[in-house]
Chains A and B, each alone.
Chain A
Amino acid sequence: MKYTQLSEDDIISMLKVIGVNSIEELFNDLPASLTDNYGSINNHGMTEMELRRKFHEYEKKNGTGNDLTCFLGGGYYDHFIPSISSALSSRSEFYTAYTPYQPEAAQGSLQLIWEFQSMMSELTGLPVTNASMYDGASGFAEAFLMAFRLFRGKKKKFIYSSTVNPAYIAVLKTYLQFKEDIEIVEIPEIDGHTDIAALKEQLDENTAGVGLSYPNFYGQIEDMEEMTELIKAQGAIPIAAFYPMVSSVLKTPGELGFEIVTGNGQSMGNPIYFSGPTFGIFSVKKEYIRQLPGRLVSETVDLEGKRGFVMTLQTREQHIKRERATSNICSNQSLNTLLASIYMSFVGREGFYKLGQRIMQLTAYTVKKAQEAGIKIKFRKKRIFNEIVFDVPDPAAILSKGIDAGLAPGIPLEGLMRENGLMTAITEKRTKEEIDTLVEFLKGDGNG
């Protein structure tokens, strides 16, 4: 196939206007290629019919992967997505537009981003939210870079808890590996919670930022306020890795004292999609705005006094400040924030609260059923929002067995975290019947 639309006559007349005889002449300045060999790329292309057939084959090759009851979490969750999401986000006025560089021709995009900033700030509890980062992990790393800049590079110690998502920690280490003379410290855990005494010991005047996870990777709600107070008392910046669904019923990270909030926005109306695209949440307190990475939209007026929106404080960004920019980020994940905006509008104030209640009830139901069945649960029972770590032998084997039985019962933590176990995520999409099936399965295969 091709998507060009010039006729032979068009080409001839255009070449004449240009003053060359052939298209080849337009490429005289390119070095000659050494080969015509493009390996496995087909020569003549494929039709739509052929493409559909081919990709359906790939789809089938996933086998059962497509049809499992999903109890997997670990950063990506099988949440409900309303049908208006794809109906509205697939409007090509949204997805075939680019970054709103000409605000008069992009008021739709700009108002959307601004409304996203507003709604996401409600969930993070911090007043300034940018137009998005790539994902939770890269946002988490950028938060530490931001903390470093806020202290003008003078504070060189970066602390995180071992209960943070291991992918976030890995990306953080990648981003920081060539910063000179810095120190990265991991705070160990006790019974699935950050060791607060160890944190206290490590905190000093040289500490720029401390990264904690809310809830933590085990799904546990830690004593955040106690820790953010300790961190701030030492003049450091508390950074959250955050699952936005918790703000339906629990305190926002801003309320808990965090000053930079990052996280994966997938659970807000985005499909799991084998991990992407999703978007990274990035919210900060007002005083930090000049060091914020990424795009920001402000409300303003046009010259007739009409409400309008523009990108603002662009002097932080790479296209103006180049090497002095707050980040190199340019393309972000705007279309995914549109999905989040539609989602947050749809669930609304009451629905979001009920959603959180439902998740907590289903989680409590799962815990009760599991305990009745004699399945052990790790860590503190009164600190579970929607992820439960079951203390079962050989979680990896249980996962494979589960798949044969039509369900993905949870994530084996071995190799990811210090403690092993099978981590099961509950969302509003799971039914009592599905949970009963899970518990039956764990009782049989899990303990057997």
Chain B
Amino acid sequence: MDKTRELIFEMSSRGVENIFLGHEEFNEAPLIEEKFLASEKADLPQVGELDIVRHYTNLSKLNFSIDANFYPLGSCTMKYNPKINEEIASFRGFVSLHPMLPETTVQGMLELLYTGGEYLKEISGLPGVSLLPAAGAHGELAGNFIFAKYFNDRNEIRTKMLIPDSAHGTNPASAIMAGFQPVEIPSDENGDIDLKALREAMDESVAGIMMTQPNTLGIFDSNFKKVAQIVHERGGLVYMDGANMNAMLCHVKPGEIGVDIMHFNLHKTFSTPHGMGGPGAGPICVSGELTEYLPVPVIGKDQSGTFHMEGNIPRSVGRMTEGYGNIGVILKALVYMMALGVEGLKDATDIAVLNANYVKVSLEKHYHLHFKGLCKHECVFDNSFQKDKGIRTLDIAKRLLDYGLHAPTVYFPLTVKEAIMVEPTETESKRSLDRFIQVMTKIAGECNDSPELLKNAPTKTPVRRLDETQAARNPILKWERGEQ
């Protein structure tokens, strides 16, 4: 193995130490009995401050990021993360607050959270909110617990959850954690849910449906209200996965079209950073009837304008988090919502959809488009035009990296074979969209003229294609001292 790139452990030498404890004399013997003490010190690396700084700085340079690269990762909404969000969320008075402080000393924080909740209620058109879920999938789980508790309380035995085949994998995975059996509903030729199949599946054994709107094909289901009606008629509830809310902000409120529960992904829709995989935040909004089932604690405001945390709510599904959720993420999202206002949020959606349609129309000559017609915030291509040259979607993705562009989401949604899912987001300029279009067009040409360029790609990244098979067969999950 070529180990030019060092591990922090390989930079370590015995005796190197960063001093951070002040000099203080103690005559105290530790209280703890000898038998509990470790026989060896934890073997953390021993590296001086400058070398640590260099190590992490150099690692950061190996990453593609929104701030350096176009990052059209479908379904992930890799929009610009405004710097003012970061600045405000790091105010000392927010960062240093302890969750066990009495409510009288955290009124500003509680008011902020309360306000964030009010905003999400307005945007969703639903009257109940919980900011607690730590991620979209966590919101889904909270939503599914609410489904389960609601039907339990009504003595209705409903064991199934309907989920369209184009759904995110988190949907069925969340449903089953709350005890529901997911039932897959196929899509029709337009990418909408197959109404006939839905009618057949929907009966009194079904708790409801989890729908992503617009769906993962970037299409707003033209029958959505009909779907909600069919589910409601048989006593079921409608859950909306709000991962794609970026395509409908301040255009229509989910609560108006039949949604009973939804989650937001603050790290997608409201511009908080994705942080290499997290933290995100997945607040949920619910209908009036479901408000009493929200997880605890719930933030309340009394008549005198004082804010408090209410933990004792008899029908609540219970607690979902150790504390009050991903506060820092919620603050950033609130700064963003305040910065944009209603007009700015609507503009964000307008331009997100404009950008996606522009890319779609510009590329459909070169890449097979799965569904024609208008898209919302993203569009899905596949490799049909390229596959007779032996080119797979993966090859196209890897080739993009050589041009300094991050690849779109690939092989998702699962309903499209060899999918290439492009979400440019609203914060990209026409110039950067044109560059992406130009590069994608060039790559389409390379597929004909020099397919080996794709097969060998990437060549300009810090590493070439990696051996994932070996990693899965014989995973090396941590550093071992002997490895050096």
A150 located at the interface, meaning its Cβ lies under 8 Å from any Cβ of chain B in the complex: no
Q: Are A61 and B41 in contact (CB under 8 A)?
A: no
Known: A98-B76, A137-B321, A179-B179. A70 touches B98 (CB 8 A): yes
A58 to B440, CA, bound (A): 47
Which B residues from 79 to 138 make CB contacts under 8 A with A?
79-82, 84, 86-88, 90-102, 104-109, 111-112, 115, 118-119, 121-123, 125, 134-138
Interchain CA distance A289-B476 in the complex, whole Å:
12
CA distance A90 to B170 in the complex (A): 29
Residue of B nearest to A34 (CB): B256
**Complex Cα–Cα for A428 and B57 (A):** 28
Residues B326-366 near A (CB distance < 8 A): 326-329, 335, 337-345, 347-348, 350-351, 353-355, 357-358, 361-362
Contact of A295 among B41, B140, B277 (CB under 8 A): B277
Nearest B residue to A225 via CB reads: B35
Within 8 Å CB of A165, what residues of B?
322
Q: Which of A61, A138, A295 contacts B134 (CB 8 A)?
A: A138
Interface residues of A in 8-43 (CB under 8 A from B): 10-11, 13-15, 17-20, 23, 26-35, 37-43
Nearest neighbor of A286 in chain B, beta-carbon distance: B477
Q: Mark A52-96, 1 if CB is under 8 A from B, else 0.
A: 101111111111111010101011101010101011101111111
* B169 touches which of A3, A119, A299, A321 (Cβ 8 Å): A321
User: For residue A39, which residues in chain B have a CB less than 8 angstroms away from its CB?
Assistant: 118, 121-122
Chain A residues with Cβ below 8 Å from B329 are 276-277
Pick the contact of A26 from B47, B56, B122, B357 — CB < 8 Å?
A: B357
Contact indicator per residue, chain A 305-326, by CB within 8 Å of chain B (1) or not (0): 1111110110001111111010
Looking at the complex, which one of B105, B182, B282 makes contact with A62 (CB distance below 8 Å)? B105
CB distance from A8 to the nearest CB of B (A): 12
Give the residue of B2, B9, B68 whose beta carbon is less than 8 angstroms from that of A306.
Answer: B2
The number of residues on chain A lying at the interface, defined by a beta carbon within 8 Å of a beta carbon of chain B, is 214
Q: How far is the CA of A403 from the CA of B122 in the complex (A)?
A: 36
A350 to B362, CA, bound (A): 59
Tell yes or no: A352 within 8 A of B by CB. Answer: yes
Would you give the shortest CB distance from B177 to chain A, in whole angstroms?
Answer: 6
- Complex CA–CA separation, A221 to B31 (angstroms): 11
B317 at the interface (CB under 8 A from A): yes
- Stretch in contact with the other chain, from B229-237, B266-274, B381-389, B446-454: B266-274
Does B283 make an interface contact (CB < 8 A)? no
Nearest CB in chain B: distance from A148 CB, A: 11
B73 contact set on A, CB distance < 8 A:
98, 101
Could you give, for residues 192-226 of chain A, a 1 whenever the CB lies within 8 Å of some chain B CB and a 0 otherwise? 00000000000000000000000000000100000
Q: Given the complex, which residues of B lie within 8 Å of A276, measured CB to CB?
A: 134, 279, 321-329
- Are B79 and A52 closer than 8 Å at their CB atoms? no
Judge if A418 is at the interface, Cβ distance under 8 Å: no
B59 at the binding interface (Cβ < 8 Å): yes
- Separation in Å of the B42 CB from the closest CB of chain A? 5
- A61-B108, A272-B98, A347-B18 are contacts. A122–B42 as well, Cβ < 8 Å? yes
Binding-face segment, A124-132, A151-159, A228-236, A440-448: A124-132
Flag if A84 contacts B322 (CB, 8 Å).
no
Chain B residue nearest to A45 (CB atoms) is B341
> Cβ of B277 and Cβ of A364 under 8 Å apart?
no
Whether B67 contacts A93 by the Cβ 8 Å rule is yes
Is B197 engaged at the interface, CB distance under 8 Å to the other chain?
no
> Given B42, B169, B338, which contacts A349 in the complex, CB threshold below 8 Å?
B42
A168 and B461 CA atoms in complex are apart in Å by 43
Expressed in whole angstroms, the minimum distance between the Cβ of A416 and any Cβ of chain B is: 9
With A and B bound together, what is the CA distance between A149 and B254 in angstroms? 36
A377–chain B nearest beta-carbon distance, Å: 10
Instruction: For the complex formed, measure the closest distance between the CB of A356 and the CB atoms of chain B, giving whole angstroms.
Output: 9
CB contact list, A277-335 vs B, under 8 A: 277-279, 289, 295-310, 312-313, 317-323, 325, 327-335
B176 within 8 A of A: yes
A308 surroundings in chain B (CB, below 8 A):
463, 466
- Cross-interface CB contact of A111 among B5, B47, B134, B273, cutoff 8 Å: B5
* Contact of B245 with A by CB under 8 A: no
Across the interface, which residues of B come within 8 angstroms of A312, CB to CB?
468, 471-472, 475, 477
- Taking CB as reference atom, which chain B residue is nearest A358? B21
Cβ contact of B344, chosen from A45, A92, A264, A305, cutoff 8 A: A45
Distance between A63 CB and nearest chain B CB, rounded to angstroms = 6
- Interface size, chain B (Cβ < 8 Å): 203
Assembly CA distance A414 to B168 (angstroms): 43
State in angstroms the CA–CA spacing of A305 and B465 once bound together: 10
Would A331 and B136 count as touching, CB distance under 8 A? yes
Cα of A376 to Cα of B193 in the assembled complex, Å: 67
Which of chain B's residues have a CB closer than 8 A to the CB of A273? 94-95, 97, 327-328
Query: Which residues of B lie under 8 Å from residue A346 when comparing CB positions?
Result: 18, 20, 49, 52
User: When each residue 418-440 of chain B gets 1 if its CB lies under 8 Å from chain A and 0 otherwise, what string results?
Assistant: 00000000111110000000000
Asked if B55 is at the interface (CB within 8 A of a chain A CB), the reply is yes
Known: A30-B220, A328-B141, A332-B135. A74 touches B100 (CB 8 A): yes
| Residue contact B38 to A105, C-beta cutoff 8 Å | no
B393 smallest CB distance to A (angstroms): 12
Which residue of the partner chain B has the closest CB to A89? B56
Using A11-B354, A273-B94 as known contacts, say yes or no to A26 and B476 having CB atoms under 8 A apart.
no
Q: Is there a chain A Cβ closer than 8 Å to B295's Cβ?
A: yes
Taking the complex as formed, is A420 at the interface, i.e. its CB lies under 8 A from any CB of chain B?
A: no
Residues of A within 8 A of B362 (CB): 17
Q: How far is the CA of A256 from the CA of B59 in the complex (A)?
A: 35
Q: Which chain B residues in 23-66 approach chain A with CB under 8 Å?
A: 24, 26, 28-33, 36-39, 41-47, 49, 52-53, 55-57, 59-66
Determine if B319 is an interface residue (Cβ-Cβ < 8 Å).
Answer: yes
Known: A60-B93, A328-B140, A349-B45. A76 touches B100 (CB 8 A): yes
Instruction: Flag if B354 contacts A111 (CB, 8 Å).
Output: no
A243 contacts across to B, CB distance below 8 A: none
Task: Given A62-B109, A300-B467, A307-B3, answer yes or no on A104-B461 (Cβ-Cβ < 8 Å).
Answer: yes
- B478 contacts across to A, CB distance below 8 A: 114, 117-118, 121, 127-129
- Whether the pair A351, B328 counts as a contact (CB closer than 8 A) is no
Contact A331 B278 (CB under 8 A): yes
In the complex, whether A257 has a CB less than 8 A from a CB of chain B is no
A408 at the A/B interface (Cβ < 8 Å)? Answer: yes
> Which residues of the other chain, A, contact B20 by a CB distance below 8 angstroms?
80, 82, 346-347, 351, 355
Which of B252, B253, B323 counts the most chain A CB atoms within 10 A?
B323
Whether the Cβ atoms of A275 and B338 lie closer than 8 Å is no
Contact of B102 among A40, A114, A353, A403 (CB under 8 A): A403
Contact with A along B271-290 (1 / 0, CB 8 A): 10111111110100000000
Q: How far is the CA of A173 from the CA of B374 in the complex (A)?
A: 46
**Complex CA distance for A94 and B329, rounded to whole angstroms:** 16
Residues of A within 8 A of B328 (CB): 273, 276-277
Residues of the B chain whose Cβ atoms lie less than 8 Å from the Cβ of A96: 65-67, 78, 81, 273-274
**Closest CB in chain B relative to A385 CB, distance in Å:** 7
Residues of A within 8 A of B49 (CB): 84, 346
Question: B367 within 8 Å of A by Cβ?
Answer: no
- Is A352 touching B41 in the complex (CB atoms < 8 A)? yes
Q: Does A363 have its Cβ within 8 Å of any Cβ on chain B?
A: yes
Known contacts A112-B276, A323-B176; A275 and B135 CB within 8 A of each other: no
Residue of A nearest to B409 (CB): A101
Contact B108 A58 (CB under 8 A): yes
Listed from nearest, the 10 A-B pairs whose CB atoms lie closest are A275-B323, A61-B108, A335-B275, A65-B105, A45-B341, A59-B93, A174-B318, A328-B173, A364-B28, A137-B322
Q: 9 additional contacts, CB 8 Å, given A101-B73, A107-B463, A276-B134?
A: A31-B256, A51-B88, A64-B105, A72-B100, A82-B18, A99-B277, A276-B322, A348-B17, A361-B28
Q: Identify 19 residue pairs between A and B in the complex whose beta-carbon atoms are under 8 Å apart, listed by A's number.
A: A4-B351, A20-B357, A62-B108, A97-B66, A98-B78, A138-B138, A167-B321, A174-B295, A271-B95, A271-B96, A272-B97, A276-B322, A296-B475, A298-B477, A299-B471, A312-B472, A322-B172, A330-B168, A331-B265
